[in-house]
Structure formats: structure tokens, C-alpha cells
């Protein structure tokens, strides 16, 4: 079980990442705070443009600058603020203590280097081990991620593997230094459901084995339901609801979360039930409405929502929401 009394592994405090463009400032991440404990799986859900990926990229400081910039906040990982580290110190964290798995397995591997070379790279770089040992360990890793014929695959190039196999390699690379935290950004969105199920089971198993914490960023509410311990729901750069997975799905409290859950068709639901979508259009990040960013699409709104932006507030144990209205 996860011990929540201990100091968290990762503390994100009031993180703000903005993009300065010709058309104006995009507040992609606009003041979010959360904790992550060792060995915990945190799901971040939201629709495109809600800032879920940018918030994760910000932890590793992988924001293209310009136009992006982390303008405020703290990212405290094992007691040190990552945002204050020098670029060199940051490199020692990336891939070593915090690994990242990207959405696009096609483009996140270098097409001209062999799989073996790329899997070995973080080991040689961070753990200073010899080449022979690195080869041995890489083969072990590749067999751990259930890649068929790992020895032969060491000499393959990325284009010779399928999307699912490439993502296995990415997972192997992420695991290679036994990181404390893995950030997986839509790791299975580009893959088929049967492959997705295989990979997520694999990731869950591996992180459990080595006690790694996992941030799972996805738009798929089903994946979060299956794998996450706690969930953040984001909308327009802010966290609107924060709860354990069980509470979030059994008693969703923010109108946006309620709307999201009501708009996905489910395999187990009554066939005659029609979907109740969230009306309106996704927010224009360049031109966010005043007050609560969700109010133009909200069916529960009250006058206060038009003018004042709500902060996260505790509504029960391990359950917070940012909304003026009590919805049930």
C-alpha cells in the first residue's frame, strides 16, 4: 500500500507554463499543485489542450523555449526543486531518476541507430558500466518487456519493428536505469486495443516490481479507471478535480468530470441510454472566459461562475474539486 504520511516523492506547487505566441499568451498550465508518493500511479485525464502533457513536460523541463516558459512554481523531487537545477544537473535526472515514455513510438526513436544502441545509451550514460555488461543488461531488459527474440532485435532498426514493439523498446529504455518516476504521455493512444492492453499490463507489472511511481497521462477514462490510484482531471490548464480513482468514478463532483463520464459510451451500459455530451466547444486557450473557464459549457453555473475562478477545495477525504456549486 502507499504510505501517504511519508514525504511525497514529487511535489508540484503552483506550476505555471505559458507559451508566448504572436497571437497572445497561451496559459497552457495555469497554476497546478499535486503530490505523488513512491510507487503510486497517478492518472492525469483531460481533453486535448487541457495542459496535461505540458504539465508533465514541465516536470522534466522539456518545454521548447521560446515560445514556452515555465513562469512560476516549484517541482520538488526527492527534496530538490528541479526548476532551480542547472542544465547539467537536470540531465543527470532525466532518463536516470525520471524517465519519460512518449505517445509516438515512431518518432521518439532515432531511425538511424539500432535498438541495442538506443537501449544501452542511458545505462552507459548514467550508470557508467562497461559495454559488455550493458549489452547483457539490454538483452535482459528487452526480454523483460516481452519483445520476441531480444538478441536479434538488438541489431534491428526502429522501422523494422511494429508500433507495439517500438513502444516496448521505449518502455525498456524508460526502465533501464530503474527510475523513481516514469511519466507516460498517452503511451498507447497510437496503438490498437489488444496491444494497448498488453502494454499497460506490462507497464503496471514492471512499475510494481521495481516500486516506480507512474504518471499516466491519457484522455481514456477507462485506462485511468483500471490502472490509476489517484486521478487529476484537468480543464484549460487547471486541475478541476482531484480524487482517488474509486471516488472519482463513484461520486464525480465537478460538472466537467460528470459530463466527461456521461459522454463516453460504455461496453457495459444499458443499450437504450443515449449519451449526454458536454455542449459547446472546447476552450480557446488564447481567449479564456472570465471566471471559471468551464462556465460557458456548464449546466450548473451560477452568477458567481462568470466572474470568479474557483480554487481546489477539499470536499471529503482524498477528494478535492474546483467548483462553486454543489452538484450531486
Partner 1 sequence: MSSSVFQNQSSHRISTHGVGSVLRSIFAYRISCVGFVIILMLVIMAVFAPSIAPQDPNVQDLYHVLEGPSRRHLLGTDDVGRDLLSRVIYGARVSLLVGLISTAFSAIIGVFVGLIAGYKGGITDMIIMRITDTFMCIPGLILLLVMAAALGPGIHNIIIAITLLGWTGFARIVRGQVLIIRELPYIEAAHAAGASGFRIMFKHLLPNAMAPVIIAVSMTIGGSIMLESAAAFLGLGVQPPTPSWGEALRIGYSYLEIVPLFSIAPGLMITLAVLAFNFLGDGLRDALDPRLRGEGKKVE
Partner 2 sequence: MSIKPKNSLLQVNNLKKYYPVYTGMFLKKKIGDVRAVDGISFEILNGETLGLVGESGCGKTTCGRSILQLDPPTSGSVIFQGKDITQLRKQELRAIRKKIQVIFQDPFGSLNPRMTARNIIGELLIIHGMTDNKTEYHEQTDHLFMSVGLDPAMADRYPHEFSGGQRQRIGIARALSVKPELIVCDEPVSALDVSIQAQIINLLQDLQERFQLTYLFIAHDLAVVRHLSDRVAVMYLGNIVEIADRAELYINPLHPYTKALFSAVPIPDPEIERTREHLLIFGEVGSPFHPPAGCKFHPRCPFAKSVCREEPPFPGKTIDDNHWVACHLIQ
Residues that bind partner 2 (CB under 8 A): 47-48, 146, 162, 164-165, 192-198, 201, 219-226, 245-246, 249-250, 259-268, 271, 274-279, 281-282
CB nearer to partner 1: pick between 52 and 126: 52
Grid cell 474539486 is found at 321
3-state secondary structure of 103: coil
- Reading phi first (left if > 0) and then psi (alpha if -120 to 50, else beta), residue 14 is in left
Cβ of residue 147: shortest distance to partner 2, in angstroms? Answer: 11
CB nearer to partner 1: pick between 67 and 280: 67
Shortest CA distance to 144 belongs to which of 114, 122, 176, 118?
176
Told to check if 54 binds partner 1 by CB under 8 A, we report yes
Question: In this structure, what are the phi and psi dihedrals at residue 122, rounded to the nearest 5 degrees?
Answer: -65, -35
Q: Which does 28 bind (CB under 5 to 8 A by kind): partner 2, partner 1, none?
A: partner 1
* Interaction residues for partner 1, span 5-44 (CB under 8 A): 19, 21-23, 26, 28
Q: Which does 84 bind (CB under 5 to 8 A by kind): partner 1, partner 2, none?
A: none
* Interaction residues for partner 1, span 279-298 (CB under 8 A): 285
CB nearer to partner 1: pick between 26 and 175: 26
Query: How many other β-carbons are positioned within 10 Å of the β-carbon of residue 261?
Result: 15
Query: How many other β-carbons are positioned within 10 Å of the β-carbon of residue 52?
Result: 29
Alpha carbon distance 40, 217 (integer Å): 14
Q: How, if at all, do strands 213-218 and 181-185 pair?
A: parallel
Cβ 134 vs Cβ 120: under 8 Å: yes
Q: Which does 6 bind (CB under 5 to 8 A by kind): partner 1, partner 2, none?
A: none
CA dihedral of residues 148, 181, 206, 130 (deg, nearest 10): 50
Cβ of residue 218: shortest distance to partner 1, in angstroms? Answer: 12
Cβ of residue 62: shortest distance to partner 1, in angstroms? Answer: 10
Cβ of residue 219: shortest distance to partner 2, in angstroms? Answer: 7
Chosen residue from 41, 42, 57, 70 binding partner 1 by CB under 8 A: 57
Strand order across the beta sheet in which 10-21 lies:
24-36, 10-21, 68-77, 80-81
CB nearer to partner 1: pick between 63 and 305: 63
Q: Which does 318 bind (CB under 5 to 8 A by kind): partner 1, partner 2, none?
A: none
Please give the residue ranges that form the binding site for partner 1 (CB under 8 A): 19, 21-23, 26, 28, 48-54, 57, 64, 66-67, 285
Amino acid at each position: 500500500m502507499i504510505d501517504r504520511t511519508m514525504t511525497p516523492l514529487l511535489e508540484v506547487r503552483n506550476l505555471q507554463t505559458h507559451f508566448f505566441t504572436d497571437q497572445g499568451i497561451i496559459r497552457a498550465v495555469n497554476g497546478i499543485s499535486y503530490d505523488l508518493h513512491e510507487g503510486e500511479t497517478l492518472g492525469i485525464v483531460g481533453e486535448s489542450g487541457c495542459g496535461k502533457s505540458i504539465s508533465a513536460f514541465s516536470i522534466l523541463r522539456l518545454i521548447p523555449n521560446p515560445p514556452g516558459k515555465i513562469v512560476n512554481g516549484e517541482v520538488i523531487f526527492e527534496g530538490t526543486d528541479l526548476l532551480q537545477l542547472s542544465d547539467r544537473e537536470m540531465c543527470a535526472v532525466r532518463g536516470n531518476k525520471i524517465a519519460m515514455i512518449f505517445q509516438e513510438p515512431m518518432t521518439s526513436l532515432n531511425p538511424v541507430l539500432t535498438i541495442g544502441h538506443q537501449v544501452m545509451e542511458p545505462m552507459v550514460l548514467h550508470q557508467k558500466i562497461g559495454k559488455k555488461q550493458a549489452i547483457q543488461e539490454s538483452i535482459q531488459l528487452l526480454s523483460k518487456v516481452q519483445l520476441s527474440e531480444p538478441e536479434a532485435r538488438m541489431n534491428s532498426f526502429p522501422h523494422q519493428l511494429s508500433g507495439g514493439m517500438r513502444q516496448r523498446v521505449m518502455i525498456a529504455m524508460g526502465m533501464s536505469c530503474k527510475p523513481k518516476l516514469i511519466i507516460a504521455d498517452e503511451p498507447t493512444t497510437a496503438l490498437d486495443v489488444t496491444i494497448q492492453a498488453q502494454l499497460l499490463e506490462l507497464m503496471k507489472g514492471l512499475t510494481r516490481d521495481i516500486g516506480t511511481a507512474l504518471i499516466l497521462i491519457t484522455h481514456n477514462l477507462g485506462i485511468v479507471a483500471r490502472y490509476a490510484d489517484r486521478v487529476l482531471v484537468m480543464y484549460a490548464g487547471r486541475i478541476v478535480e482531484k480524487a482517488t480513482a474509486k471516488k472519482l468514478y463513484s461520486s464525480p463532483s465537478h460538472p466537467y468530470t460528470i459530463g466527461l463520464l456521461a459522454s463516453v459510451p460504455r461496453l457495459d451500459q444499458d443499450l437504450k441510454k443515449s449519451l449526454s455530451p458536454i455542449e459547446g466547444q472546447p476552450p480557446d486557450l488564447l481567449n479564456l472566459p472570465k471566471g471559471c473557464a468551464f462556465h460557458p459549457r456548464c449546466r450548473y453555473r451560477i452568477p458567481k461562475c462568470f466572474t470568479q475562478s474557483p480554487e481546489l477545495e477539499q470536499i471529503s477525504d482524498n477528494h478535492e474539486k474546483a467548483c462553486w456549486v454543489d452538484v450531486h
